[in-house]
Chain A
Amino acid sequence: MSNSVLTPIASINPVLPGRRTLLIDAAVNSTLGLIGGFFEWFGNLGIFFWQVLRAAVTPPYEWRELIRQLDEVGSKSFPVVVMAGSAIGVIISLEARYSLSRFGAKSMFPATLVYSVIQVMGPIITGLVVSGRVGAGIGAELASMKVTEQIDAIEASAINPYRLLAATRILACILMLPLLTLVSDACGLLMGWFAQTLVEPLSFHQFVQDGFKGATFSAFLPQTFKTCVYGLIIGLIACFQGMRTRGGAEGVGRAATNSVVLASLFVILADVVLVKFILVVFP
């Protein structure tokens, strides 16, 4: 809009420039509030992490609860990880066969599938699937405990809730993510090979031999064990969101949603950093 239009209106209604200033003030305040909230969230997350870390390394250790959480995070995520891993294997198999055929590189199919599944898709898909299932579960469970004062009751019973509730869940996520990734990778490779075999028979022995030809442990291990970081992110964010919930049923819902959304987002962002880090450290 040109000044020639604005000037007469402003002169007719002297309130308008004031309103404009108020709008600018509101926008600036809102932006500053958002930035402040962002840093406050990270600050609180850091303090929470420190409290959990301190509780985790000092006795008494909550072995019984840890084993329960290993089952909750590991065994109960097993079916969904198997299905997701299998689906990814089939998808990559279909896509790779089509793309490689176009470039006359069908012989590269086993290696393409192996590297795509183990290095790229397996870890990230497992991370996202677990962040959905476990992140929402932990977030909602702890939030529900928080709003019904059960976490306060634990603390009042002279039990450190960071040790009992948070440290065990986070540690279970850290330990279980690599194992679930291995399961996902295995299912992906198996189903990828199976999908290929239905169209163009290829012995499993041949597939494995060609797929892993020249492969070293350093090509696959860092990619698998980077999921420990995903586990840390998922457990930490879900516990943090759950244990600081306020506001009844609505708060519980918000905590569950935020746990999934933030954990998934940070898993993807962490992957960007970790891929670069692994490429530099394990060239």
Chain B
Amino acid sequence: MATAYDIAMTQEQSKEDGSAPVVAVNNLHKAFGSHIVLNEISLSVNRGKTLAVLGRSGTGKSVLLRIIIGLETPDSGSVCIYGHNIVGLALDRMSEIRMKMGFLFQHAALYDSLTVAENVAFPLVHHRKDMSRSERNERVRQLLVEVGMEGNLEKMPSDISGGMQKRVGLARALALDPEILLLDEPTAGLDPISSGEIDDLILKLQRERRMASIVVTHDLHSARTIANRLALLDQGNVVIEGTFEDLQQSEIGFVEDFLKLS
């Protein structure tokens, strides 16, 4: 079982050469009853790289992210963070790993009883006890400036639009300076302009922070903009994984149909 020390050591190695995968899922299998959602899939992502997972609705894309962050348990297979399998870790051990991850939920999942600023401060309040209140407030302000939401500190989540909620969710996901960013449908339900803004924001964050990112989406344009590699899922299987050009050159019927209709 991976210890925090083991992970820290591998993490240092990964930072030095950047070649080892930060996140790697191997032969992941997950079924709900008789419905197989993920069928022995294997994917990986390195530091500073973005992998977009595409596919139709209900093909297990979100389940994959939930398994990586430990909100769901796979039936078999492994999820390795810096080379160490985290499947089956106890909740408190898993929390240590999650400190390295940021997760943007499909519907942002902001705490509806807290203001925008309190939402972003939430992870800091619980994990950065050494920070003074003024330091924390300054950090929250910086994060909200980063996502273009600095003028909405005292608003409640119900008072801002879906796109703004996603920005705040992204700021909250970045609060602990994660090395792994998991984004679940970051542009779903947004108008093209807001989608473009979110894409630009993700690209900017990637350039500045060099995180390993996995983006789940069915927005091909967005995936092409923000990801280095794309993986197309169908009925729980990875149909193809590669660059956008690899997908364009593919002669697999499903890939051709997906590109044509997207």
- Tell whether A162 pairs with B92 under 8 Å between CB atoms, given A150-B111, A153-B109, A157-B122: no
**A153 surroundings in chain B (CB, below 8 A):** 103, 105, 109-111, 172
A152 within 8 A of B: yes
Is A158 touching B95 in the complex (CB atoms < 8 A)? yes
Residues of chain B with a CB closer than 8 A to A160's CB: 91-92, 95
A158 touches B127 (CB 8 A): yes
Given contacts A156-B101, A158-B96, A158-B99, contact A150 B109 (CB under 8 A): yes
Restricting to A115-171, which residues have a CB under 8 Å from any CB of B?
Answer: 144-145, 148-150, 152-153, 155-160, 162, 164
B95, A149: Cβ atoms closer than 8 Å: no
Q: How far is the CA of A150 from the CA of B112 in the complex (A)?
A: 8
With a cutoff of 8 Å between Cβ atoms, the chain B residues found around residue A51 in the complex are 91
A-side interface size class:
10 to 19
Residue of A145, A149, A156, A162 near B91 (CB, 8 A) is A162
Contact A159–B126 (Cβ < 8 Å): yes
Supposing A157-B126, A158-B127 touch, asked if A149 and B92 sit within 8 A by C-beta, the answer is: no
CA distance A145 to B127 in the complex (A): 21
Chain A 183-214: CB-based contact to B (< 8 A → 1; otherwise 0)? 00000000000000000000000000000000
In the complex, chain A residues whose CB is within 8 Å of the CB of B71: 152, 155-156
User: Any chain B CB within 8 A of the CB of A58?
Assistant: yes
Please report the C-alpha to C-alpha distance between residue A149 and residue B103 in the assembled complex, in whole angstroms: 12
Which of A58, A153, A158 counts the most chain B CB atoms within 10 A? A158
Query: What's the Cα separation between A145 and B69 when bound, in Å?
Result: 19
B48 at the interface (CB under 8 A from A): no
Contacts of A155 in B (CB 8 A): 70-71, 91, 98
Residues in chain A near residue B123, CB distance under 8 A: 157-159
CA distance A40 to B206 in the complex (A): 46
Which residues of chain A are within 8 angstroms of B70 by Cβ–Cβ distance?
A: 155
A206 to chain B, nearest CB (A): 51
Q: Does B107 contact A (CB under 8 A)?
A: yes
B109 and A158 within 8 A (CB): no
Q: Is B80 engaged at the interface, CB distance under 8 Å to the other chain?
A: no
Query: Is there contact, CB below 8 Å, between B92 and A58?
Result: yes
Query: How far is it, in angstroms, between the C-alpha of A216 and the C-alpha of B101 when the chains are bound?
Result: 59
How many angstroms from the CA of A157 to the CA of B173 in the assembled complex? 8
Question: Taking the nearest CB of chain A, how far is it from the CB of B205, in angstroms?
Answer: 18
Quick check: is B203 within 8 A (CB to CB) of the other chain?
no
Which residues on the B side are within 8 Å of A144 (C-beta)?
A: 112
With A and B bound together, what is the CA distance between A55 and B98 in angstroms? 17
Chain B: which residue is nearest A160 at the CB level?
Answer: B91
A149 neighbours in B (Cβ, 8 Å): 105, 107, 109
What residues on A are CB-neighbors of B96 within 8 Å? 158
Q: How far is the CB of A69 from chain B (nearest CB, A)?
A: 13
Residue contact A157 to B109, C-beta cutoff 8 Å: no
| CB<8 Å pairs between A and B, sample of 28 | A51-B91, A55-B91, A58-B92, A60-B126, A60-B129, A145-B111, A148-B112, A149-B105, A152-B71, A153-B103, A153-B105, A153-B109, A153-B110, A153-B172, A155-B70, A155-B71, A156-B71, A156-B98, A157-B123, A157-B176, A158-B99, A158-B123, A158-B126, A158-B127, A158-B176, A159-B123, A159-B127, A160-B91
8 A-B pairs with the lowest CB-CB distances in the bound complex, closest first: A158-B98, A149-B109, A153-B109, A156-B103, A158-B95, A157-B123, A158-B99, A159-B126
